[in-house]
Chain A
């Protein structure tokens, strides 16, 4: 295979960004590359607010899908109790006559049955199109309901998947209360971590957010809330009085942070995902500055570094000058890993198959990286832009191998899914045992993972495992899309669904 025939784009990130803005490279996702819709992403954020009942105003399938995906996963992994997701169960007759009566009835019933702090009315495609006037209904009956009511217009067709996150984050700000001097004094050493989603952190896993919380507390500060990872209405109300909002990254949490900044003047600390020491320092220093805890933060960072210094320096020594090829279909993560490889390890990052669609969705992160003077190389092969089927995945795998050619496996490491099989060392940062990835401990973990993969580069990848992903008997004439069960981890995949997320240990 001649790589040149298969390259859709090769160049700097800034060039790709420019082409995408001018419409000179396709930026739409293929019909086979479906993402969760706006309804699903809105629900993902709402799942992180305690004692909130969502009434999905629509047929049962929308509520059932998110419940099965998010709520059951939270029971399984985060020790959460059973939480209902309600539906007004819109049927054929309601499509004709409307479902307003059903919605009013549902709101009143929910108040009686669950006594929630917040009732969220989430519109679906069906009720959005038939034009049920949800806002009017809430205006009419709102005062008779004790719970706070939020209306989220998140019809699946009304925006790209990302818009659901941003919309809910902005709406949550409406539940907050303006800062008071008294509360500001109480919370002058408190931060909100913004950009959490789905619910509490996994109970049995040392997660990235837990690591950030440990670091914040390590410099003598407190966490007021993780919005909306695991927060209550009370915490949300107090949130504007916290000293600073620390976004998990420039994209996730940016919307709520910017809105709180605009409405309540709560400062926002927003950097790239804190992968590696450089990004972690940046994250902590900025947070500390808003609380007057610079000295404590410096002490903490010194302590943290001292704990890992010997191992980290030794691990790092082997990495300078090597190439890090980073799978690009998780756009924000790939940009953050590129930042870490260059700043922490002095490696040369190349982002592989960053879908041009992501340039719009991840604009903030790209701008930040470019402003920081980083402009990593990007390589996009045609398989990434092909109509999704098993072969496009196989094609991208072949293209990857063609790109690598006879490259010396001692000079390149691939950051991507273990379900990809390049002939070079591979680091899968999504693997559950590779957590936390943030902070100093995370930096050491990553450095050790890279070196471990170089150490065992002599071991060929398992034929058995490879054949599971790339069966021998599948020629280019057998065709398919990817299943939801594997979509999180597959090379070149963007399909999504509940099956995989409820079972995959990487999710």
Chain B
């Protein structure tokens, strides 16, 4: 099977490429409309929370964040009063329907009873108060998203009513595409074409009413391999909503897109409509590539590469790279990969008879060392990998994942046939840039 690299001296010192649980919790909350978030923490944690809101591109006219700015005396004496004051100020200023009150490392460790504060203040507050433990030590940002999702479960009402042909979409934001909302839009667009309704998105631009009514959906659709699986399992247990298509790679590249679409069509008995979509969209893809992308064939064939990504995009992309672009993925590096995703990865590799070097849950050191040790022609990753590749003398790197150096004004899906075109367009531009002259040689001109 696949190769494993052994990294000495890496048990205790991690060079993290994922943030902490607080960012994940903030990310899930930021996806809900008309809520405010009060963090009971020192002021630096507000930057981490801000990133969670950045990930949803919540514009500055809609942000509602407060911080208790804890200092030493607060740590020694406790700061429940301070928290109450900030909550009251926030109620007055923000007027949000729901106020999440998050305890971060400092508040969680000194044992601030945020639940009690919320309980005590609730009668005098308009907003519904929701305490949540979000200490960074509770895990990485994906663990935090899971914590955030779990905090939403009590809001979902039990109902005997099930709406046929409706789905909840779970964890669209746990995806390395810098404009992941375009992938969400693609999924929604496909569902709309099939007359399948979206009941609730957990979470992006979601209303509280939608969360309350999530129990009506006929199925749950997970958009990430990293986050949401436990949440979906609980949705099945409590609300009897099945999780569908859980064993499919995400719809990236031709094969995986067709497979994903056909699975969706089969579940909702819309096979005929799906085939029409596939026919039309695949034709468009081929027409464009025939006209504009022919030269990728000699460029990419048997090109040895390292792919560094999350498992959500990464698992889907391997088949596109190997079977469709005829590249050779020598190293697969995922910054996070849970057991379920690992099983899916194993199945995919086995099915393709592919044996790359695999590094899962990699940190920055392992990432760079893997790239250093592998004999590859190019690296597919984020801005980080681009700089690592440059430093290690690898001429070509494709900067497709977050954090990216690319500025994107028009959202770019990576899912579906159009998404494949977007990915290939980025590949093509980065390839061109790598081999173009960087400067004019003035002296020679003279």
Contact = CB atoms under 8 A, between A and B. Distances in A.
B21 interface: yes
Question: Among the interface residues B15, B46, B67, B92, which one has the most CB atoms of the partner chain A within 10 A?
Answer: B15
A106 B12 contact: yes
A60 B19 contact: yes
B64 to A, nearest CB: 6
Contact of A156 (B10, B44, B51): B44
B18 A60 contact: yes
B78 interface: no
Given A126-B137, A387-B93, A89 B62 contact: no
Given A76-B405, A161-B43, A387-B93, A482 B60 contact: yes
A29 B95 contact: no
Interface string A45-63: 0000000000100111111
Contacts of B42: 37, 125, 155-157
A477 interface: yes
B21 A482 contact: no
Interface in B1-50: 8-23, 38, 41-48, 50
B429 to A, nearest CB: 18
Nearest to A53: B13
Interface string B124-138: 000000000001111
A13 to B, nearest CB: 26
Interface string B69-99: 1111011000000000010011011111000
B136 A59 contact: yes
Nearest to B386: A75
Nearest to A477: B95
B20 A59 contact: yes
Interface residues of B, number: 77
B403 A502 contact: yes
B391 interface: yes
Contact of B75 (A55, A157, A393, A496): A157
Contacts of A459: none
Contacts of A95: 109, 135, 137
Interface string A332-363: 00000000000000000000000000000000
A495 B50 contact: yes
Nearest to B141: A61
Contact of A81 (B90, B141, B365, B387): B387
Given A65-B47, A88-B13, A479 B95 contact: yes
Contacts of A497: 46-48, 50-51, 54
Question: Among the interface residues A62, A90, A389, A498, which one has the most CB atoms of the partner chain B within 10 A?
Answer: A389
B53 interface: yes
A35 B45 CA distance: 10
Question: Among the interface residues A68, A69, A155, A479, which one has the most CB atoms of the partner chain B within 10 A?
Answer: A479
Interface stretch (A166-174, A301-309, A439-447, A483-491): A483-491
A61 B19 contact: yes
Contacts of A411: none
A92 B138 CA distance: 6
Nearest to B405: A76
B13 A389 contact: no
Contact of B53 (A92, A101, A161, A483): A483
A112 B10 CA distance: 10
Given A29-B69, A125-B106, A157-B106, A112 B9 contact: yes
A260 B60 CA distance: 43
Question: Among the interface residues B74, B96, B109, B387, which one has the most CB atoms of the partner chain A within 10 A?
Answer: B387
B10 A113 contact: yes
A424 B239 CA distance: 61
A313 interface: no
Contact of B51 (A72, A101, A499): A499
Nearest to B7: A113
Interface string A90-116: 111011000001111110111011000
A449 B92 CA distance: 42
Contacts of A502: 403
A36 B50 CA distance: 12
B105 interface: yes
Contact of B21 (A55, A61, A105, A498): A61
B47 to A, nearest CB: 4
A59 B137 contact: yes
Contacts of B289: none
Contacts of A81: 387, 391
A90 B137 contact: yes
A32 interface: yes
A88 B60 contact: no
A507 interface: no
A23 interface: no
B43 A34 contact: yes
A31 B47 contact: no
B110 interface: yes
B428 interface: no
Contacts of B62: 390, 478, 480
Contacts of B58: 483
A108 B11 CA distance: 11
Question: Among the interface residues B43, B45, B70, B109, which one has the most CB atoms of the partner chain A within 10 A?
Answer: B43
Interface string A20-46: 000000000111101111111000000
A499 B407 CA distance: 12
Interface string A383-413: 0001101100100000000000000000000
Question: Among the interface residues B21, B50, B110, which one has the most CB atoms of the partner chain A within 10 A?
Answer: B50
B207 to A, nearest CB: 16
B86 A31 contact: yes
B50 A126 contact: no
B95 A482 contact: no
B66 interface: yes
A32 B13 contact: no
B61 A390 contact: yes
Given A32-B66, A477-B95, A89 B44 contact: no
B65 interface: yes
A210 interface: no
A433 interface: no
Contacts of A289: none
A86 B137 contact: no
Nearest to B143: A91
Given A62-B136, A82-B368, A88-B12, A480 B63 contact: yes
Interface string A73-87: 001100001101111
B70 to A, nearest CB: 5
A32 B20 CA distance: 22
Nearest to B387: A75
Nearest to A471: B61
A158 interface: yes
A87 B22 CA distance: 16
B68 interface: yes
B63 A129 contact: no
A34 B64 CA distance: 13
10 contacts: A34-B44, A58-B137, A113-B365, A156-B41, A157-B42, A471-B61, A483-B59, A496-B46, A498-B51, A503-B407
Given A60-B18, A94-B137, 10 more contacts: A64-B20, A76-B405, A88-B14, A108-B9, A113-B365, A479-B94, A479-B96, A483-B59, A484-B47, A497-B48
A-B residue pairs, 8 tightest by C-beta = A61-B20, A37-B44, A105-B12, A156-B42, A34-B46, A484-B50, A59-B136, A60-B16
